[in-house]
Chain A
């Protein structure tokens, strides 16, 4: 403990000692400066030992010695020694070289074309290390106080002792400073323990440091900026960072706001700002339309004005406007929205009796609701004469002849007259009913010539279109009967008989057909069919028979499903074949093309057109009918009409498209399912019959040039058939050569319509 205390004491002492010289040095330093400034030339020669203290303004050394804390005297001396040594080093440097610092040269850079400073290269040889510089004292970097008690201060290059130079006491030092004018220009060299004069450069550095300047002479702190990365043409396109714009960039500064508030408060206090000034900035109304508007936005459309009041709204209307009791009740029973007028006309004898209108505010309000909530559309009011919308067609009277009245009735006894056929010359009609009766009668007078009776319903009837023979085919359940009418010329009869019942049968086909051809004996009477085709079992009633134009082939369509429904029979070869292996949907009708080897097949929804020679599908027509009932092809072969059970009739131009050219399905057309369609073979007419009991006659003119559209003109609606069990006119056929029409109805009557 005692030793500690003594140590503390020692420290205190040392501090006192240390502080004193510092103060001295400071004052001296100040004085020195004064000298140098004022009378630099005069005192240039003065040399003083005190100057050597000058570089020792070093706090670090003090602290070091504090830490050591052993011997203050020694410490101090040693410090001083080392300082002196440093000084010596510098001195030697200055001695060896003319310039202690490498001199920089300013040259023009090759790359940037800007002036730049270049320092001389440092040669990395032995001399370049300052530690090996020519210091006479070669003891190295060891504490000098090791030599404090010795007479020498170190050793030279040859190992000889360097003796401590003689140093005067404090008085000598003072005298030196006074006598030697250059003493302030020398510093104490520690390693040699003696004063050494400072070089001019060193002095310059000292001066600069004292003047707070940059110690390096060549350094120019104010040289012009070289814009390496900024300036025109060097802007960076991309931001250096992807960080989003910080909020502080655009949020008004809070601090500035505070400052501004302070100034505003100050201004208010000083009365420069009056806080609650009455705002009389703008008058309420001024002339707003004096300047033209600068708005780019178009103004909203003006709202439609409400309708102006009519006589009915008068307080004293003419009496006919007053509603009757029923009208009043009806009006009151209606919903508000449904009412045609929002008031009931009333009559008051005098103006003074008119009460307030109860709905006034509601009506204003509903008007406002209309103004801002109702969608508005700009509608162009059509000023069209409605009659101009009706297509202008030639008058029917100019398109005569066409059937316009009923020529005669022919009545079947029982059952519906299902089918009929007119002979090629147009003189004879065969008609069949559901009772199995087939009647042959004359067109002109309606006299029945012959009657055949078959078992079951008659499904279809068709005359052979050949002129050299005369017979017709009757389709009944599972059979096709070939019947020769009576009273034929003998020539025709023999040809017909030889055709239907030839003496030598043609060779049977390679593949046996399920259809059997059975000829009755030729000698048999005309009451029996001369030839019968037995269709395969379960094929059902042949609903349609159609002839090829040459009269050799005929096709029959039975009402059974599947591939067995359609058969094509060839008379000359007595052979039948089913043209379709597989059929999609149930086949409604088939037709031969009048001139080309083509074949139309109507399924429930589509009409397909096949080439029989090449045996491939040509096209599929899409009439858009739900269920096709009938179709017919124009004698030219380029147009097809298709009728459906959904009252629709489509006209196809086969050259044009597989979509209908014209659809007829309107108020004035058939109101019920279409049953039958037929083109007149020579006149430009076609007829359609329907379950509504009417027959419609159309003029259908087809032009040869492809540019003119076919002309369709409705001519006449023929009424007369009764509707029975929801069925009307079941089949219509034109009489060849005359513009006459024969129609078979469900009421058991067959009519002939004449022009």
Chain B
């Protein structure tokens, strides 16, 4: 006999804890627990056996891994949250007693937590972080457009707007935008950053208010994490691209609603690289003579071993100095060697992109004032085009409307005849191409400049299709309908006749006719004599020849299709009897989803067919 096993000491009962148990263990409030879960990326788990995990109780509960909770228990942020709780109590007491000075000093020493270590834990490598910034970008773009309220301070909105602009700047700089899709929800963008496809959704430029059924606290906690994450990601992206982060903001331009243009991208100069990094380190430590000596030594060493040059620089900075001395940074020779010999990220990112990244290079755009400037400035500049805008859309346009270089005008209003037009204006109008905004997106998705003709001002636009791949069997609106008309017609007729049967009953002569037609056709279609007899019979019954022939064709098709297929089908159906229960369930599940997809596709195809027919009818009349 083995050792007695006590209940609840091993297995699921030990591996899972419910949420209330977790809160009790962490000694924090539910709100704090939620905050921690959001920040640490810990989510509930579904145990295989709920009853076993809940120690025999079948009450509904949320389960977490006990190890995850133990992991949170050591979290510095949790400590800070506890400190903050104490601080809040102290502050409220000080305020209640009217001790303003102590309240002031408390407020100054308010415990603040940092999320750096959490970012590092959640995303051990940079690629992990880039893979996961989709949601972060969506949130930041959303909050950048929210009006400030008591819960959303203006500084937050400002920071989000800054991050959004920095991201757009980076995408424009690296020309990494792949696809764009105008949806009813907003605009989807897809970019390729560090070989990761990043998709983000930007709402249309309207003022949105946070609805009452949304918990803002949760959103703000997420935003807190996302802001930090994006900050670190952008820092890395910018420095890898050889740019200064954060890009300096021109306040005057910003006031003039220059948008993205208010930021200026600065290349990191080689000579100033060291101090810049140091400035970024921000500890303001001076460099000692010892450091200098060490640096020289490291440089000397790097002459022989060039690989060590990269590591030497951070080491130098990490040693605290005590004697103030001027340090003149000399770029090491190895740096240059590296840059020339090995392909670095910087050189890779500045490599010429394929042609599709520069499709708008030969074009110069002018945006009409009713189109959103932010969107099209971003899109056009991502693909190498020049763009200008009227002053009403913001300052900073590189050229004005009279510029002769303008080739395309993105305009989104109905065509209006302008009576008082000078010849010059007319010439200019004829020289330029007036296209609707969808043209820009469709060009980007197609990867080439499309014909402007279907998109010209005032025309009915061709449908705007999603550039994102759907599943393979999905309905493709571009493909030619593969079902021939006759068959579709038959399907319709069938449906109609069924309807007739169902609705009108037997006294409808049309339905009678049809049923009679079927009756006649029942005879063997292969035999020409029999066919002739059936035809005559049909005629006698007053069925017109067209209907008869149609019925005939259909029957023939069915006759061809049915026997082999049906037999095989029947066999398979019989074989299903011997499937095991599990296999049968799986089979049914797969079949169900297949059927559903097929039905969806068929529905769309049928609808398209009717629409086409209607169009044809209209065109005829």
Chain A partners chain B: yes
| B571 lies within 8 A of A396 (CB) | yes
* Chain B residues within an 8 Å CB radius of A303: 41, 132, 135
Q: A295-B121, A356-B206 are in contact. Are A302 and B468 (CB under 8 A)?
A: no
B436-453 contacts to A (CB < 8 Å): 436-438
Chain A residue with Cβ nearest B231: A285
CA distance A292 to B34 in the complex (A): 29
Q: B237: shortest Cβ distance to chain A, in Å?
A: 11
Binds A, one of B42-50, B76-84, B344-352: B42-50
Please, what's the 1-or-0 string for B147-161, where 1 marks a CB less than 8 Å from any CB in chain A?
000000000000000
Contact with A along B113-135 (1 / 0, CB 8 A): 01010011111111011011011
Q: Tell me which of B389-397, B457-465, B545-553 binds A.
A: B457-465
The stretch of A478-486, A594-602, A664-672 in contact with B is: A664-672
Closest Cβ–Cβ distance, residue A718 to chain B (whole Å):
13
Interface residue from A305, A346, A384, A669 paired with B590 (Cβ < 8 Å): A384
In the complex, whether B273 has a CB less than 8 A from a CB of chain A is: no
Q: A288-B119, A361-B142 are in contact. Are A346 and B184 (CB under 8 A)?
A: yes
B123:A299 contact, CB within 8 angstroms: yes
Q: Nearest-CB distance from B143 to chain A (Å)?
A: 10
Residues on B with C-beta less than 8 A from A254 are none
B486 CB within 8 Å of chain A:
no
Q: How many residues of A contact B (CB 8 A)?
A: 85
List, in ascending order, chain A residues with CB within 8 A of B370's CB: 352
For the complex, what is the distance from the CA of A317 to the CA of B219, rounded to whole Å? 32
Asked whether, in the complex, the Cβ of A360 is within 8 Å of the Cβ of B586, the reply is no
Q: Which of A314, A375, A396, A662 contacts B184 (CB 8 A)?
A: A314
**Of the residues B105, B135, B469, B608, contact of A367 by C-beta under 8 Å:** B135
Would you give the shortest CB distance from A281 to chain B, in whole angstroms? 7
B409 CB, nearest partner CB in chain A, Å: 15
In the complex where A311-B465, A714-B577 touch, is A360 in contact with B108 (Cβ < 8 A)? no
Docked complex Cα distance between A386 and B597 (Å): 15
Stretch of B262-270, B276-284, B425-433, B558-566 contacting A (4+ beta carbons < 8 Å): B276-284
Interface positions of A from 252 to 291, Cβ below 8 Å from B: 276, 280-290
Which residues of the partner chain A approach B573 to less than 8 Å between Cβ atoms? 668
Docked pose: A356 CA to B468 CA in angstroms: 22
Q: Chain A residue with minimal CB distance to B146?
A: A361
Asked whether B463 lies within 8 Å of A318 as measured between CB atoms, the reply is yes
The secondary structure that dominates the A interface is loop
Contact in complex: A295, B124 (CB < 8 Å): yes
Contact code string A703-743 (vs B, CB < 8 Å = 1, else 0): 00000000011110100000000000000000000000000
Among B314, B577, B578, B584, the most chain A Cβ lie within 10 Å of the Cβ of B577
Given A367-B135, A390-B572: A354 and B208 within 8 A (CB)? no
Q: Which of B124, B131, B211 contacts A362 (CB 8 A)?
A: B211
The answer to whether B45 touches A376 (Cβ under 8 A) is: yes
Q: Is A351 a contact of B182 with CB atoms below 8 Å?
A: yes
Check if A714 sits within 8 Å of B578, measured CB to CB. yes
What are the residues of chain B within 8 A of A667 when measuring CB–CB? 576, 584
B236 within 8 A of A: yes
Interface string of B570-593 (1 = CB under 8 A from A): 011111111100011011001100
B613 to chain A, nearest CB (A): 12
Q: Which residue from chain B places its CB closest to the CB of A327 in the assembled complex?
A: B603
A396 touches B574 (CB 8 A): yes
A285 B235 Cβ-Cβ under 8 A: yes
Candidates B37, B42, B105, B577; contact of A669 at CB < 8 Å: B577
B371 lies within 8 A of A666 (CB): no
Give the CA-CA distance A433 to B116 in the complex, in Å. Answer: 89
Most buried by A among B40, B44, B121, B185: B185
Which residue on chain A has the smallest CB distance to residue B183?
A313
Q: Are A354 and B586 in contact (CB under 8 A)?
A: no
Asked whether any CB of chain B lies closer than 8 Å to the CB of A308, the reply is yes
Judge whether A375 and B245 touch: CB under 8 Å.
no
Alpha-carbon distance A377/B41, docked complex (angstroms): 15
Question: Please, how many angstroms separate the alpha-carbon atoms of A718 and B469 in the complex?
Answer: 49
State whether A314 touches B607 (Cβ < 8 A).
no
Instruction: Indicate if A333 sits at the interface (CB-CB under 8 A).
Output: no
CB atoms of B466 and A386 under 8 A apart: no
* Cβ-defined contact, B124 with A343, below 8 A: no
Q: Interface size bucket, B side?
A: 35 or more
* A333-369 Cβ-contact flags toward B at 8 Å (1 or 0): 0000000000101101111101111011111110111
Q: Say yes or no for B38: interface residue by CB 8 A criterion.
A: yes
Cβ-defined contact, A308 with B199, below 8 A: yes
Are A281 and B283 interface neighbours, CB within 8 A? yes
Interface residue? B473 (CB, 8 A): no
Contact in complex: B594, A386 (CB < 8 Å): yes
Interface centre among A308, A382, A664, A714 (most CB of B within 10 A): A308
- Report B-chain residues with C-beta under 8 Å of the C-beta of A284: 231
B132 touches A302 (CB 8 A): yes
A299 touches B182 (CB 8 A): no
A309→B183 contact, CB < 8 A: yes
Task: Answer yes or no: B222 CB below 8 A from chain A CBs.
Answer: yes
State the CA gap A713–B43 with chains docked (Å).
49
A667 to B584, CA, bound (A): 10
Q: How far is the CA of A210 from the CA of B120 in the complex (A)?
A: 77
Is there an interface contact between A662 and B412, defined as CB atoms closer than 8 Å? no
Verify if B383 is at the interface (C-beta below 8 Å from A). Answer: no
B571 in complex: contacting residue of A357, A384, A395, CB < 8 Å:
A395
How many Å from the CB of B69 to the closest CB on chain A? Answer: 12
Residues of B within 8 A of A310 (CB): 466, 468, 470, 474
Instruction: Identify A311's interface contact among B239, B477, B572, CB under 8 A.
Output: B477
Residues A289 and B236 in contact in the complex (CB < 8 Å), given A316-B438, A389-B587? yes
Instruction: Tell whether B204 is near chain A: CB-to-CB under 8 Å.
Output: yes
Contact partner of B464 among A314, A396, A668, CB < 8 A? A314
- State the Cβ distance, B93 to closest chain A Cβ, in Å: 21
Q: Is the CB of A668 within 8 A of B576?
A: yes
- Residue of chain A at shortest CB distance from B207: A356
- Complex Cα distance A288/B118, Å? 11
Chain A residues in 8 Å Cβ range of B114: 282
Q: Does B218 contact A (CB under 8 A)?
A: yes
Closest residue on chain A to residue B132 by CB atoms:
A302
Q: State whether A390 and B587 are in contact (beta carbons under 8 Å apart), knowing that A313-B183, A356-B204, A373-B44 are contacts in the complex.
A: yes
Given contacts A285-B232, A287-B235, A365-B219, contact A375 B465 (CB under 8 A): no
For B409-420 the 0/1 string (1 means CB < 8 A from A) is: 000110000000
Q: B185 touching A309 by the CB < 8 A rule?
A: yes
Report how far A346 CA is from B182 CA in the complex, Å: 12
**B479 CB → nearest A CB, Å:** 12
B461's nearest neighbour on chain A, judged by CB, is A316
Check: A97 CB closer than 8 A to any chain B CB.
Answer: no
* Complex alpha-carbon distance, A318 and B236, angstroms: 42
- Asked if A317 contacts B579 (CB within 8 A), the reply is no
Whether A276 lies near B108 (C-beta < 8 A) is: yes
Nearest first, the 10 closest Cβ-Cβ pairs linking A and B are A356-B206, A283-B282, A308-B468, A714-B574, A320-B607, A375-B46, A316-B464, A300-B41, A386-B590, A318-B463
29 contacts between A and B (CB under 8 A): A287-B235, A289-B125, A299-B122, A308-B466, A309-B183, A309-B188, A310-B466, A317-B464, A318-B465, A319-B463, A343-B185, A346-B184, A351-B437, A351-B438, A352-B371, A354-B184, A355-B204, A356-B203, A360-B142, A368-B218, A372-B42, A376-B45, A382-B586, A390-B572, A391-B575, A393-B575, A667-B584, A668-B574, A714-B577
Q: Which residues of B contact A (CB under 8 A)?
A: 34, 37-38, 40-46, 62-63, 71, 105, 108, 114, 116, 119-126, 128-129, 131-132, 134-135, 138-139, 142, 181-186, 188, 199, 203-204, 206-208, 210-211, 213-215, 218-219, 222, 231-232, 234-236, 239, 245-246, 280-284, 314, 370-371, 412-413, 436-438, 460-461, 463-466, 468-470, 474, 477, 571-579, 583-584, 586-587, 590-591, 594, 604-605, 607-608, 611
Chain A residues with a Cβ under 8 A of chain B: 276, 280-290, 292-293, 295, 297, 299-300, 302-303, 305, 308-311, 313-321, 343, 345-346, 348-352, 354-357, 359-365, 367-369, 371-377, 382, 384, 386-387, 389-393, 395-396, 662, 664, 666-669, 712-715, 717
